[in-house]
Copies of this chain bind each other. A is one copy, B any other.
């Protein structure tokens, strides 16, 4: 696919202005953007789960750093046990009991043994362990009923990790096993990439905050500041909500400039449609240095999604309706931010089910239609949600969505469709 089709090159700026592109084109643009290069920082190992290592990590120690027993038994000199059998017991002198954590005090000489618990250090000169099951202890005498070869049940130094080896490579996502292996080497802190810094702004004169403002006619509580904030946090990014900005050119311009100074990615909601009060596109088009500018993706709900790449910064403007904003977020931004964070991508759980009631769609727009799953004739089927993107309850009652192609206007009862679950 040639992204240059449809690009409008404007004089020397060579800007890529894309107006109203398809879902696939927008996805391709987002996929073509590599992970931003973030600085690194050093954090506690215990807080490093799901963060990304920014350097190879080597171990300063061998693990284990001493020879230890794999079993409860008696540490011996293997040669001393040769010939031992059930009817030919060999007697050894017990000189020490070594529990896990003890430092062995005595070196073995010919004919001697020490008790060793699982994980305990092996005494000097020992080269094997006889399991308790093949011994009989009588005070300071131990009778051995099985010969062992050198090395039996001994865990050698560096068996698990060798000193100086790279244990975990740069760019690894730190999972529990990674934390485990680093902890085993005594590593307390790790260098990781900083989280992407995302600024979040809600725009609209109608929006108010329940802490601060009285609910008057015309005003509504801002939902996106709470919902999108958490959705962004769930991708591994660090979010800073910069507040509600009024529909004023200068206010919005100042807020956007502040956000771009303080963060890598800016997500605004509201101010994208074509009403008189929508300033987002106007402010963005005045920014200098834009590399990619997308205004409008042919989807429903949320057609007016805007995307700008400006040097190393990225700006998204999502629709103001929370249901549209959240569905656009899930469809485009969720995994994009996860990629930026280095987080595991979200795999969408989906299933093909029968349509339980005719569903209508608008020709010319790729629709992400919120649906609920209900039992009908003893079978789980797909039903449309009757409210639209203006209602937050649409998302609340939906179990998932189906994708409806640009060219479809009706999906008949009885058709089969794939539902993507939230």
Please report A residues at the B interface, Cβ cutoff 8 Å. Answer: 45-46, 49, 61, 63-66, 70, 72, 97-104, 115, 117-121, 155, 159-161, 175-181, 183-188, 204-207, 210-211, 215-223, 226-227, 229-231, 234, 247, 273-277, 320, 322-323, 326, 387, 390-393, 395-396, 398, 422
Contact = CB atoms under 8 A, between A and B. Distances in A.
A183 to B, nearest CB: 4
A215 B64 CA distance: 11
A277 B392 contact: no
Contact of A218 (B100, B176, B188): B100
23 contacts: A49-B230, A72-B276, A99-B275, A99-B277, A101-B205, A101-B207, A101-B218, A101-B219, A102-B205, A104-B217, A119-B204, A119-B390, A155-B390, A160-B392, A176-B326, A177-B396, A180-B223, A180-B322, A180-B326, A181-B396, A183-B223, A184-B220, A186-B210
How many subunits of this chain does the assembly comprise? 2
A394 to B, nearest CB: 9
Contact of A159 (B99, B100, B155, B391): B391
A119 B180 contact: no
Nearest to A222: B183
Among A120, A175, A273, A392, find the residue whose CB has the most chain B CB atoms closer than 10 A: A392
B180 A227 contact: yes
B117 A275 contact: yes
B46 A119 contact: no
